[in-house]
Amino acid sequence: CLEGIVKHNGPQIGPAAENGDDPLPQAIKDYNERQDLGLDTWAGPEAQVAALSDDIAYNNHDIDDGLRAELFTIDDLRAVPLFAEMVGKVEAQWPDLEEARKVHETVRRMMEFMVNDVLAETRQRIAAADPQSPDDIRGLDAPVVAFSEAMVQYDRELRDFLFEHMYRHHRVNRMTSKAKRVVGELFRHYMEEPETLPAAWRRLTDGKVTAETAEAVCDYVSGMTDWYALREHKKLFDLYS
């Protein structure tokens, strides 16, 4: 499980590493000294399936989210070839379908199309590599669970659209800026005043502004939901709360 998380995007070191020459996070280095994760190899087959499934779900659900948030429209999405193809088929079959159901059916078809592409491409790659063990899969030059070249292009076009129209939308940027301030202020407060942490977390600290306290504070803050973080921020920084 840990190997799959660490190598979610592929090898961490070596020629296939996505991060290139960037240094490894210290937490990964420390853990790898205790258990060799094979950082220069691909993850095992189950982790590869989980990673690509995550990409499929993430991108398609963001279409739903972006439409509901009115960051873009169906007509905007027609610039994405895969969406245009699928929504065209839905409209041809049900020309009078209401918009919400049209979006639902289009996204469902996109996900099905992507999943079937992964299945076909993965079967071909497994047949060609003929692995006899998970380690054989780890040691290959490329993942066995993957999109076809055509689907890679479709997926890239969808990502580019979402990046421009959603992830860098001014409303999203404002919320991101607010989130950075909230998390940063929470972290600095707990580092300087660890006695304000809940008792179970306070016991994991060893004083102000130390590495051990920083680790405990990071774990505490990273485990917060959005609403919990906002509520804690209000309690700590609103003098009348």
Render pLDDT for 93-146 as a digit per residue (tens, 0 to 9): 999 999 999 999 999 999 999 999 999 999 999 999 999 999 999 999 999 999
String of DSSP letters for 170-209 = HHHHHHHHHHHHHHHHHHHHHHH-GGGS-HHHHTT--STT
**Nearest by Cα to 233 from 224, 78, 131, 147:** 224
d(C-alpha 6, C-alpha 41), whole Å: 11
DSSP-based three-state secondary structure for 10: coil
| Token representation of residue 54 | 């995550």
> What span, in angstroms and rounded, lies between the C-alpha atoms of 157 and 65?
18
CA 19/CA 16 separation, integer angstroms: 9
pLDDT of residue 41: 95
Judge if pTM exceeds 0.75: yes
DSSP tag of 140: S
What's the token pair of residue 173? 């940027």
- Residue 241 has a pLDDT of 61
Percent of the chain at pLDDT exceeding 90? 90
Structure tokens at 195: 């006695």
- Residue pair 158/82 in contact (Cβ under 8 Å)? The answer is yes
The reported pLDDT for the residue numbered 19 is 76
